[in-house]
Amino acid sequence: MVPAFLLASLLGCDLSSAPNPKDSTDRLYEVPAGTSARGLGPDLQKEGLVAASWRWEWFLRMETSGEQEGGTCLKAGQHRVNAAMTAPQLLTALCGVPVPKDEPFTVVEGWRIREIDAALVAKGWAQPGEFTKAVTTDLTSYKAEFPLPADTLEGFLYPETYKVEPDAFKKPDGLHAFVQRLLDMFGQRFGDEAEKAEKAGTLPRPFHDLVVMASMIEREEPSPENRPIIAGILWKRIDAGWNLGVDATSRYTLADWNDREAFLGKLRDPNDPWNTRLKAGLPPTPIGNPGDVALKAAQNPQASEFWYYLHDSSHTLHGGRTVAEHEANRRRYDVH
């Protein structure tokens, strides 16, 4: 009996033709590690990527040469393919660089280092405390066009959704490379231009002070359009030598941001360097990682007649010009 592939050859059948020339919709096809190109035949037929496994095998035997001979160039991983590919095109795709298995990872605006750490742990990409250590020790190993702090990268880890390849975290420098990406994004969105402006003498405030202020604005004002107003009030307090009185700063070191009992204890602690009710000036570090709107607000504050502010139960901002006006707002909107 004449083998099917030999009979087809004798009859002039095109063994390398596409199984479905009209179906050019791309899909991802996984090549398992250790699999040979010939061994893929039955699965490629099942997936509709070759008309028959024997045609694929015959193509590999008779119509490949050089680096592709016999399909020895096959690479494990995901590849973008479709049923309109001819056998040579399919083999080229399967021998190409695999498609990265990226997953989205979002650093939320205002998140502290500890929240990023916890999110990476939840993904299974890092052990508890690994990220924290990476951004609080040996900071000279990171590169930036703007000045990096010596003790913590809090405030400089730009909030954004990043495409992340989970396997990258298994590499010895995987976590370091991820941190560098966050710093690079901070530089692109704010840091590089702000540093140039500071060197030129055109930055309205010291670089580090702007980042600290932006981190407070991020936590203090949920409405983007009101953030320049909050920036104006807080800078006015700084310039007048007032204590800032920003309660969010006293929450910064809490394990749980919303732990009210621990928060009240912090408000009464005169030794807490982040207690801006009792200590003058800015807190020693940012209290989270601010996004673009908060950073711009810190740079471009809006002047107003207000020295005080509060939010009602619907998070609406109410400003006060005097202590008496502020206390009246407290009573009116039942804010304690």
**Distance from C-alpha of 88 to C-alpha of 86, rounded to nearest angstrom:** 6
Tokens in use for 48? Answer: 């509709």
Tell me the Cα Rg of the chain. 30
Residue 197: pLDDT over 90: yes
Contact assessment for residue 140 and residue 151, using Cβ atoms and an 8 Å cutoff: no
Using alpha carbons, select from 214, 223, 219, 217 the residue that is nearest to residue 316. Answer: 223
pLDDT at 3: 52
Number of other CB atoms surrounding residue 6 within 10 Å: 12
Residue 151: pLDDT over 90: yes
pLDDT at 6: 53
Full set of structural domains in the chain with CATH: 4-94 (3.30.1490), 103-200 (no CATH), 207-333 (no CATH)
pLDDT digits (tens, 9 = 90+) for 226-272: 999 999 999 999 999 999 999 999 999 999 999 999 999 999 999 99
Using alpha carbons, select from 284, 301, 294 the residue that is nearest to residue 215. Answer: 294
Q: Which residues fall within 8 angstroms of residue 63, CB to CB, at 6 or more apart? A: 15, 16, 87, 88
**Distance from C-alpha of 75 to C-alpha of 94, rounded to nearest angstrom:** 6
pLDDT digits (tens, 9 = 90+) for 6-56: 545 544 456 678 999 999 999 989 999 999 999 999 999 999 999 999 999
Q: Answer whether 0.95 is exceeded by the pTM.
A: no
pLDDT at 1: 47
Burial (CB count within 10 angstroms: exposed 0-12, middle 13-18, buried 19+), residue 67? exposed
In the chain, the largest separation of any two C-alpha atoms, in whole Å, equals: 103
pLDDT at 99: 85
Tokens in use for 275? Answer: 């207690």
